[in-house]
Structure 1
């Protein structure tokens, strides 16, 4: 009986998994980005972490690929020095606190630097380099007011329908993008 109810609920929500469904939530997601998520992206700890990682310089593509491979190999293992180092930063605590305070609306959050490498994470991401993905390319590379909203998809790990909302991390001194941040948003909880 329980499985029948779950299946019926998923069938009822199945239309949310189509690309057209992103448009259904786009206005609400953009408002959320402007009204709440931008403040998290502007948190001094997040900005400082992005600035610090950017100041270390831009690794070449071979080094980025190696870091990404190291991250992927470490996720979910007992020995994860790169993942643990990023997850242990004060900016990661800011993102985790925002996720926790959202009562399930924010399912994940992660910040990236000027080449798309993770700077801070509320939870480990599946990969370390986001620089080849729209969440980074259509925010950091577009400008300070950019907002990227992904299609709504069923997240297998949380069994919720979510969209990723991304926006730049902006240098408060000059107003230029210095990185980006992505938030997984459970669209079932949008109001």
Structure 2
């Protein structure tokens, strides 16, 4: 049956000999086979991106180990959906993430997950050769029992033969859909504890990218349009991030240093022209990453920037950046170097100061491949004592730390 799938999908999607050859495996809900057609969260994104690029492609379904071997050997151009892995680092490059797995511990009622060292000492299970099994072993948590499919993990925990297992939230929900009503009641009592996010993307072989040097940048540029809500916070996660903002940042919105800095710069820039804004932004972006940064150094040397740096450092990694923006959309102080000096064309500004849609904006999850952290930007308007809008504050929140802190 698997060979038939491979053949059918290859014939369906291959338009000519130069089609991009992709490999994948079945992993609900990211890749699923419905009535003989490959579908799922990841497949929908891949299909959308290739369609917008006007690029023909073929997809073959096979065991994951074989898919990796094909990519390494040059028999395939890419594979999906993959987590970042050292196994492919020498032979392939990962695209920007188009989905995020949200990993949780799922464990039996009565187990205390707040104890130091959790889950050491517990009987843990994993699907054989899965990313979760490799992660557990890498982090010094031996797997007590491996199984061939996820449903077996559910039943072993429900039967008291295992204490816990790690699973992606979406995958866990898919498993629950496959159990009968008598099992569902017991399994609904399982507890959970957030572990981390895992980005999913497409690995393209270096041999392929060498022949198509513009391919990856074009592919990545379309991911934001084609990816679904899997890169956004859930309702529960938004509440947790907002609670941290209310506790740690909202009291600062009335701090005299912040209010004064924004009020003063907003007044100075009341008559700033579009040409001047564009000139300053060009200079700022030209200096980013350079050894000599007269404009950036001047801004980071301001008292308000030093104050924001102290706030960021005190968060112990919870906040990745903090910056102020005046009413004209220009930076008025920052704890770290921002990509741009003008923020007026960015979503945080447009959803707060720009359109006055809301006094609070929480953006999508952004993955920084160089640092390996996941960030969300939280923005709020700032008012002076007279109730006049003077600007906004944006805080980059390490969302993994935020969710772990809230447990």
TM-score using structure 2 length: 0.42
Q: Which structure shows the higher helix fraction?
A: 1
Q: Which structure shows the higher strand fraction?
A: 2
- Which 5+ residue runs of structure 2 have no aligned equivalent? 1-84, 88-130, 137-167, 169-195, 201-228
Whether the 8 Å contact between 1:143 and 1:177 is mirrored in structure 2 is no
Structure 1 pair 104–75 and aligned structure 2 pair: CA distance change class (3 A): same
Determine the structure 2 residue equivalent to 1:23: 235
> Which residue of 300, 318, 331 corresponds with 1:87?
300
Determine the structure 1 residue equivalent to 2:381: 168
Pair member with larger Rg: 2
1:18-97 pair list within 5 angstroms = 18-58=230-270, 59-97=272-310
Deviations along 1:57-103, one digit per CA (max 9) or x if unpaired, are 33111111111000001122232221112111111112111110001
Question: How many angstroms does 1:53 deviate by?
Answer: 1.0
Please tell me whether residue 99 in structure 1 is matched to residue 312 in structure 2: yes
Distance 1:131 1:61 in 2: 11
Distance 2:383 2:365 in 1: 26
Task: Give the number of the structure with larger relative contact order, counting CA–CA contacts within 8 Å between residues 6 or more apart.
Answer: 1
Whether the 8 Å contact between 1:71 and 1:82 is mirrored in structure 2 is yes
Whether the 8 Å contact between 1:22 and 1:150 is mirrored in structure 2 is no
Structure 1 pair 141–174 and aligned structure 2 pair: CA distance change class (3 A): farther
Determine the structure 2 residue equivalent to 1:118: 331
* Equivalent residue pairs, number: 188
Whether the 8 Å contact between 1:143 and 1:168 is mirrored in structure 2 is no
- Which 5+ residue runs of structure 1 have no aligned equivalent? none
Whether the 8 Å contact between 2:197 and 2:400 is mirrored in structure 1 is no
